[in-house]
Amino acid sequence: MWAITQTALGGPEVLRLTETARPAPGPAEVLVRIHAAAVNPTDVWHRATGGLSGADGSPVPLGWDLSGTVEAVGIGVTLFQPGDEVFGMPRHPVPAGTYAEYATSPARHLAHKPAGLDHVQAAALPLAALTAWQALVDTAGVRPGERVLVHAAAGGVGHLAVQIAKARGAYVIGTASAAKHAFVRSLGADEVIDYRTTDFAEVVSGMDVVVDTIGGTYGPRSLRTLRPGGIVVSLASPDEAALAEEAAALGVRAVFMAVEADHAGMREIAALAERGELRPHIAQVLPLAEAGRAHELSQSGRTSGKIVLTTGAASTTSTGADTIRGARK
């Protein structure tokens, strides 16, 4: 099969399109023929600073999101059978290798693909939508009528968080540049703040939940927008102790959350998509071989929504990544 790998840390140029052996599913796993795989900021970080799993320089698999068709099932799998269309976020944070034509996954890290979504749309959802769902629902327990502030509301996680919060009956405020305000409002946001001209901490108050996808000063500043007992869910500031201490002094809460593989969450996301309450915005679709270009776009910070890679004949061109031939299996 063809897969994107790397043998050194660095920029997008270290990505290689490599011909390698197709994996086989183990017990409780399935083998998925991947039709599409989304690119996430964590992929960019993994490539640049954490992309090597060992000192031997062996190729490292990249990517977590996938949408595709079950090719084979391992011993003990009862949820799926060959031919089923599935989507999900296998193994996170362990490298899953979804920048490839095939990947294995624990069966319960996947769900049936919503019939109303194509593979590109479905691949754009798992990691970002699970992050938003686990932040808003599992962690913050958002309820109808509550006020939710979503930072970077036009981004990969943010644009899905806006939709999930609205589906839960919340009043949603988003931060985004002025050029993206119409897009964020089209997602259902009730208000949008231009972070470049307005300090959100000066104009927002009484929030029940803040989803912080940015980090830095955004966490501490967001604390001051909360009502007593409100919560900031930080997805980018792992210094949880300092933020939590500051929050406690103000009578509010702050937690750092890392997304986890979640079959039940994937089924909830699929249900939202089936009802038309959750749709990913696709910023760019590129063939697998152009993973380097996809990473350049992702780290530019200028895209709205998600970037998706597709497999197939077009992916075996060498545009955007060097090609390394090996033993094809």
Residue 192 belongs to domain with CATH number: 3.40.50.720
**Do residues 197 and 132 both lie within one domain?**
yes
Please report the pLDDT score of residue 323 as a whole number.
Answer: 43
Number of domains present in the structure of the chain = 2
Residue 4: partners with Cβ closer than 8 Å, 6 or more residues away: 15, 16, 17, 18, 62, 63, 99, 100, 288, 291, 321
Q: Let me know whether 44 and 94 are in one domain.
A: yes
217 & 246 share domain: yes
- Residue 254 and residue 235 in contact, taking contact as beta carbons nearer than 8 Å: no
Within the chain, which residues score under 70 in pLDDT? 51-60, 237-238, 313-329
Q: What is the pLDDT of residue 300?
A: 87
pLDDT at residue number 52? 58
Among 49, 156, 56, 51, smallest CA distance to 97 is for: 51
Q: For 67-109, what is each residue's pLDDT tens digit?
A: 999 999 999 999 999 999 999 999 998 889 999 999 999 999 9
pLDDT the model gives residue 8: 83
pLDDT score, position 67: 98
Angle between helical axes of 158-167 and 126-133 (0-180°, round to 10): 50
Domain end call among 200, 221, 256: 256
CATH number at residue 307: 3.90.180.10
Provide the pLDDT for residue 57. 53
Q: Are 290 and 303 in contact (CB under 8 A)?
A: no
265 located within any domain: no
What's the pLDDT score for residue 46?
84
pLDDT, tens digit (0-9, with 9 covering 90-100), for 161-201: 999 999 999 999 999 999 999 999 999 999 999 999 999 99
Question: Is there a domain that residue 180 lies in?
Answer: yes
311 with 247, same domain? no
pTM: 0.92
184 φ, ψ (degrees, to nearest 5): -65, -40
Res 312: pLDDT: 75
**Whether the Cβ atoms of residue 249 and residue 263 lie closer than 8 Å to each other:** no
Shared domain for 210 and 227, answered yes or no, is: yes
Instruction: Give the domain extent around 218.
Output: 128-256
